[in-house]
Amino acid sequence: MKKLIEYGRKAKFYVRVLSGYEERRIRSYRLELQKRITELAERKKAEIRKIPEQLILSEVRQMVEEMKAVNKQLEDTEAAINEYFKPVDKQAEMIVEMKLQEEEKTMKQMMQAMKAQAVLDNQDAQKIANINITKDEAATR
C-alpha cells in the first residue's frame, strides 16, 4: 500500500512538471521571496537612514540636559556667592552711609562757615559804607 501511495505521488509530481504547474509555482515562490527580500531591504535602508537623525536628536537632547545642569550649577553658585557677600554688602552699605553722613556734616559746617563769612563781609561792607557816608557828610559840611 505504501508503494502504491508513493507511486501515486510520483505520478502526480510528473504530471505537474509536464503541465508546467510546478514551474509556475516555483516562479511565483521565487518572485514572492524576491519581493519579501526587496521589502526587507527597503525597510532596513529606511531604518539606517533614520539612525543618523536619531543619533543627532539623542546628542542634542543630551547636550540640552548638560546645558540645563550647567545652568543649574551657575544659579546655585551665584546664589552661594550672593549669600557669601551679604555681610560684606551690609558692611559696605554701612560705610557708605557713614561717609554720606560725614559729607553731610562737612557740607553743613561749610555752609555755616560761608554764612558766617558772608555776615562778616556784609558787616565790613557796611562799615566801609558808613565810613564813606561819614566822609561825604564831613566833606559836604
User: pLDDT tens track of the chain, all 141 residues?
Assistant: 888 888 888 888 777 777 777 788 888 899 999 999 999 999 988 888 877 777 888 888 999 999 999 999 999 999 998 888 888 888 889 999 999 999 999 999 999 999 999 999 999 889 888 887 787 777 666
Question: Can you tell me the distance from the alpha carbon of 31 to that of 37, in angstroms, rounded to the nearest whole number?
Answer: 10
pLDDT of residue 140: 67
Nearest to 105 by CA among 25, 97, 43: 97
Helix (H), strand (E) at residue 53: helix 21-140
Place of cell 558808613: 130
Contact of 17 with 23, CB cutoff 8 Å: yes
pLDDT of residue 17: 73
Question: Can you tell me the distance from the alpha carbon of 66 to that of 64, in angstroms, rounded to the nearest whole number?
Answer: 5
